[in-house]
Amino acid sequence: MKHNIGHSLTDTLWEVETPEGIMLRLRPAGFAPRGLAWLMDFGIRLAVVAAISFTVGLTIGGYAAGGIILVVSFLLEWLYPVVFEVCCGGQTPGKKRLNLRVLHDNGTPVGWPASLVRNLLRFLDLLTLYSTAAACMLMDGRHRRLCDLAAGTLVVHVEPELVPRLPSGEAPEAPAHPLDLEERAALVAFAERLDELSQARQVELAELLQPLHGRKGWQAVQTLRRNAAHLLGDS
């Protein structure tokens, strides 16, 4: 069972149900970061071919060097992404830099067959200078290239591991009226996101809840923070 969640038209979040019965939320990566990752990988490949050509040309030389360079460039052209994707947790060096990861579209790590398919069929994208890939990614709700469709894969953003949030230090204070589950969640979410908002915006949002706390200005924000601390169970 997989389906879009939330505002399906504007949101690209993708949920996958695991055998453990929970929904994993994946964030498919779009055209720009993937293009950048590809460019980086391309640069790395060029650099490696150049470096190896240089070394081998100087040390071995002759026809044998040419043979080695040809084999190396073959491996880099076709198998570089496959080996990295399967052996390094779905990440080529470029994808790692941009925090992207290739997964099967059921959320499991990509394996040999799928990675082989999505990377060998890439030749077709190359023929059209990646315009088909770009068009396909822009049209698909999960930003998949045609090769991703054939391989059953998905490129997602990897989010850094979050650290636990420390208590705010505010003295807890019960809200003036009992709140239902939705309201409590909204209050906690507000308190958690305060750092991301400007002070004026904090006040503006807090004053919307005047019926609840009856306060104005900065005091309104403080009261809501204390309420949130109470709901979270800070002591």
Partner 1 sequence: MRQRQFETRHEAEWRRVSEAMKSGGGEEFPGLYRRICHHLAVARERRYGDGLVRRLEGLALAGHHTLYSRQGLTFRQIAAWLLEEFPLSFRRHWRFMLTATLFSLGPFLLIFVAILRNPEAAGLVLDAQTAASMEEMYSPAAEHFGRQRDVDSDLLMFGHYVNNNIGIDFRIFSGGLLAGVGSLFFLIFNGLYIGAIAAHLTVAGCGDNFWPFVSGHSALELTAMVVAGGAGLRLGWSLLAPGSQTRGQALRDAGRDGAVLIGGAAVMTLGAAFVEAFWSSRADIAPWVKYLFGASQWTLVLLFFAAGGRRRVA
Q: Is 46 in the site for partner 1 (CB under 8 A)?
A: no
Largest CA distance in the chain: 86
Q: Is 66 in the site for partner 1 (CB under 8 A)?
A: yes
Q: Is 178 in the site for partner 1 (CB under 8 A)?
A: no
Q: Is 196 in the site for partner 1 (CB under 8 A)?
A: no
State the DSSP code for 148.
Answer: H
Give the whole-angstrom CA distance, residue 79 versus residue 110.
15
Tell me the CA distances in angstroms from 222 to 148, 165, 166, 217, 219, one per residue in order: 49, 18, 17, 9, 5
Question: Residues 89, 134, 168, 207: which binds partner 1 (CB under 8 A)?
Answer: 89
Q: Is 134 in the site for partner 1 (CB under 8 A)?
A: no
φ, ψ for residue 132, nearest 5 deg: -65, -40
How many chain residues bind partner 1 (CB under 8 A)?
65
Q: Are strands 153-157 and 100-104 parallel, antiparallel or unpaired?
A: antiparallel
Q: Position 117: which residue type?
A: V
Q: Position 129: which residue type?
A: L
Give the shortest CB-215-to-partner 1 separation in angstroms.
Answer: 23
Give the shortest CB-116-to-partner 1 separation in angstroms.
Answer: 5
Q: Is 59 in the site for partner 1 (CB under 8 A)?
A: no
Give the shortest CB-62-to-partner 1 separation in angstroms.
Answer: 6
Q: Is 68 in the site for partner 1 (CB under 8 A)?
A: yes
Question: Residues 100, 102, 137, 147: which binds partner 1 (CB under 8 A)?
Answer: 147
Q: b vs e for 172-196, b when ≥16 Cβ sit within 10 Å of the residue's Cβ?
A: bbebeeebeeeebeebeebbeebee
Give the shortest CB-216-to-partner 1 separation in angstroms.
Answer: 26
Closest CA to 228 of 143, 165, 161: 165
Q: Is 112 in the site for partner 1 (CB under 8 A)?
A: yes
Query: Rounded to an integer, what is the distance from CA 229 to the centroid of its chain?
Result: 31
Q: Is 1 in the site for partner 1 (CB under 8 A)?
A: no
Question: Residues 10, 59, 198, 235: which binds partner 1 (CB under 8 A)?
Answer: 235
Point out which residues bind partner 1 (CB under 8 A).
18, 20-22, 24-26, 62-64, 66-71, 73-74, 77-78, 87, 89, 103, 107-109, 111-114, 116-117, 120-124, 146-147, 149-152, 159-165, 167, 181-182, 184-185, 188-189, 191-193, 231-235
